[in-house]
Chain A
């Protein structure tokens, strides 16, 4: 069996926002499943983190929620992006890309290059 990893701290919000952005309104279970699927079931979403996070995003005004019928006609709470949420997603995305780019550079740089730069 594959070893599943918990979602890294701080990245869950980004994943939640991106999921809602792509798929439109979703309930908590849907969001969790979706994140796990996209990660190729490499990640496991901890519900103890997900629901407080959803509440926080809602309090910050990034998402809105309301009760609605689920696919199997159950009552479920659906979360939807707000305009502020889109802005937040953009900002988070830029941040993340920047971080990723920096990290990537560190892996690309070879010892010879660093020395060459130092000498120059």
Chain B
């Protein structure tokens, strides 16, 4: 209590700087006067009495110092003094201060941004209760989509038979449709979930309620919908009365029963559902019934382990059940092995994302390390320049500890300011990134306490790193030596500064290598043959599922639309396809050889992607037809089933034998190959060549489709023409039109993000290398001006002067670059995490790095070298 009170009084005294010197002086005077009186009364002469009184009192200064130490907080006061002095010193050399601040700002800012993303994506668990105990089941190999686990009946079997899970819920995450409310229609996508979903996750609604198992009583019994916070705010204006209201989802009435909290976004971090509906009501939203089909692999299974269960036990349990199911349902269940992962990062993409983010974090830390090495060099050089001042202070009685404290205070001041600037810019940048939402999906990166803490740690850590170098220098120096000869440490053969510059150059070379590798990778990705040409083509999507019409009518209308589109002036080709490549969709449809007796999954020969298309699509997409013919409007349900396959399909099925005229069974129909199309990319850029089947529109019941129109017109003109034409034929149906290139931007996002991230870091590294080399060379030259002058006066040749002036930085540049390049080659595994097909041994990359570093070296040392060559000995000699 009293200590606390005292601390406050002292703090107050420090802050108000109240000076009660007066009081102490008076008190001391009265003390001495009293002593004098007593001495006089003891028989001394007044003079003697005063003298003895003073002697007895002792040193007035000592009393005063002790008094002050008690009065204020000496530690704080010295700190304030140091800070004030540091600010003055920094203000005196603004160029140095600005360079130091910018260096730190960039280094720390880059790290904070990277950590912010890492924090949001990896470190933040899903906002559900006990996220560590939440697992998602994945197949060992079978790539049925990135998320899907099994069929609904198999899910029910897993749920009922397992002994290791305390609960299991199913999700169908690709639900989408038209939501109408008060005559407004909007396109939404969401999750269809089992009744126990919310209870399993342990989440609470912000208003209303969630649905539970008790709400379900058989098919279509629970027409309830839970809205996401985002949808509720954007489309329902945050209206609390919406609970209880009825909305229509794909023309079926659903009652809004609740709104999820703003933090809950389902179980995927990159794909936030707009709504949740009970799976029992799926038929009202989906085209078909997947609840009773063992062949529709539509359910993502999540579950929680019983207390004390290990994931391995659960996996064994699940696999035993899968094996049982394969025996009981040999036609449909293939007994695929299952394994457990934590949900959130698009299934197995988690590993890729994790590797990428950790890789980028390592590189960002390297940038900061280079920045610190740079600053350490700068600070050490400054300390050397100030050695006279420092020596003087030591000679005047300042303790070494005090000097080191002063230098460290300066370093901490610089790093705090730089760190604050870095945090500020990172905050702004993350804000911009969040708003422009380049993150696939809707992830927001928030700057939370953890990010601030990391920023502060990095700031103070770097202050120690670059502040200790000059401090060590001062600690070891002797004032006599410093006063006598001035700064002389450059005579040493190998200084710590050289090592720092070498390290810095090596790190920078590594980063430049990384960014060149990334750029090369990006260029390669952009030139991967896609098997179609997005440039110059437009996509138009019409939701015809709501229009009441029979299958034949719909097909006729579609045909008419394609004809109308083709007749727009400037259009060269038009067609429809069920889904354009790289937008997900149907894949893994089993194919059988003709004559297969049992259509079991394990008898299938291939599981290709399947696209349904109209005549003209291949032309509009610029997918080359290598042989055979395109499908035509004459290929109908009444003529033999035909298909076009791609090269990989043909090679895998029939090897070298020509594919045209061959037959296979798909969907129970014997189908003849009439055309061979070129290979391409269908799911993502990285996939190896995949087998593909194109089926004619008129022979399939799949009526969904995207119009692909190729034209010579500009995209905006084309968009208007498309909309006009299509709504002329089918009015009152929402149409979305965009250029194909735009719609693919998301697919290129990872490669772009990597290139931008590494490019920026490479640029930062290059800047650091330039400032580092420039700083060292310029410093060298300015320190050795006199010596250079003497050399010139004695007849040194220009090359000799040059090598004396910038030789050492150049040697360091060379050694550092070689080391950095070697490190880059050995770090190819790290780079491989970040960039697709990273190859630092690529001669173009190596050449590029060597060229870059040479150019940087020339750029950085040009000015110091010119100054060295322009030395005028006579002028220099006269100066001192």
Contacts and interface: CB of A to CB of B under 8 A. Distances in A.
Contact of B10 (A33, A49, A59): A59
B218 interface: no
A60 B27 contact: no
Interface in B9-63: 9-10, 23-24, 26-28, 30-31, 33-35, 37-38, 57-59, 62-63
Interface string A12-50: 000000000000000111101100000000000011110
A112 B31 CA distance: 54
Contacts of A62: 2
B70 A46 contact: no
Contact of A84 (B2, B10, B67): B2
Contact of B67 (A29, A46, A52): A52
A30 B33 CA distance: 12
A61 B30 contact: no
A75 B38 CA distance: 16
Contact of B37 (A28, A72, A75, A77): A72
A72 B41 CA distance: 12
Given A27-B30, A70-B34, A77-B26, A59 B67 contact: no
B63 A48 contact: yes
A51 B63 CA distance: 7
A56 interface: yes
Nearest to A27: B30
B26 A46 contact: no
A51 B30 CA distance: 13
Contacts of A46: 58
B34 A29 contact: yes
A77 B66 contact: no
A60 B23 contact: no
B30 A60 contact: no
B9 A51 contact: no
Contact of B34 (A56, A72, A88): A72
A51 B59 contact: no
Interface residues of B, number: 29
A33 B70 CA distance: 23
B292 interface: no
Q: Is the interface of B mostly helix, strand, loop or mixed?
A: helix
A76 interface: yes
Q: Is the interface of A mostly helix, strand, loop or mixed?
A: helix
A101 interface: no
Nearest to B37: A72
A29 B31 CA distance: 5
Contacts of B652: none
Interface in A69-113: 70, 72, 74-77, 84, 88
B799 interface: no
A108 to B, nearest CB: 36
B69 interface: yes
A73 B165 CA distance: 93
Given A74-B30, A75-B30, A77-B23, A49 B66 contact: yes
A51 B34 contact: no
Given A48-B58, A48-B62, A61 B26 contact: no
Contacts of A48: 58-59, 62-63, 65-66
B5 A59 contact: yes
Contact of A56 (B6, B31, B57, B59): B6
Nearest to A53: B70
Contacts of A52: 63, 66-67, 69-70
Given A48-B59, A49-B66, A70 B30 contact: yes
B33 A47 contact: no
Interface residues of A, number: 27
B34 A74 contact: yes
A89 to B, nearest CB: 13
Interface in B58-99: 58-59, 62-63, 65-67, 69-71
Contacts of B183: none
A56 B35 CA distance: 24
Contacts of A60: 2-3, 5-6
Contacts of B2: 60-62, 84, 88
A74 B30 CA distance: 7
A77 B27 contact: yes
A29 B5 contact: no
Given A47-B63, A59-B6, A77 B30 contact: yes
Among B2, B26, B59, the most chain A Cβ lie within 10 Å of the Cβ of B2
Contact of A55 (B30, B31, B67): B67
Interface in B663-697: none
Among B9, B31, B63, the most chain A Cβ lie within 10 Å of the Cβ of B31
A53 B23 CA distance: 15
A45 to B, nearest CB: 10
B34 A55 contact: no
A60 B9 CA distance: 9
Contacts of B26: 75, 77
A9 to B, nearest CB: 13
A70 B28 CA distance: 14
Interface string B613-655: 0000000000000000000000000000000000000000000
Contacts of A72: 34, 37
A104 to B, nearest CB: 30
Contacts of B37: 72
A59 B70 CA distance: 9
A56 B10 CA distance: 10
A88 B63 CA distance: 25
A77 to B, nearest CB: 5
B9 to A, nearest CB: 5
B349 to A, nearest CB: 64
Given A29-B35, A84-B2, A55 B71 contact: yes
Nearest to B68: A52
Nearest to B20: A55
A23 B10 CA distance: 29
Nearest to A50: B63
Contacts of A88: 2
Nearest to B33: A74
Contacts of B63: 47-48, 51-52
B5 A47 contact: no
Nearest to A87: B2
A47 B32 CA distance: 11
Given A47-B57, A60-B6, A61-B5, 6 more contacts: A29-B30, A46-B58, A48-B66, A53-B70, A55-B67, A56-B70
Interface of A: 27-30, 32-33, 46-49, 51-53, 55-56, 59-62, 70, 72, 74-77, 84, 88
12 contacts: A28-B27, A33-B38, A48-B62, A49-B66, A51-B27, A51-B67, A55-B70, A55-B71, A59-B9, A62-B2, A74-B33, A76-B30
For the complex of A and B, list the 3 residue pairs with the smallest distance between their C-beta atoms, beginning with the closest: A52-B70, A52-B66, A29-B34
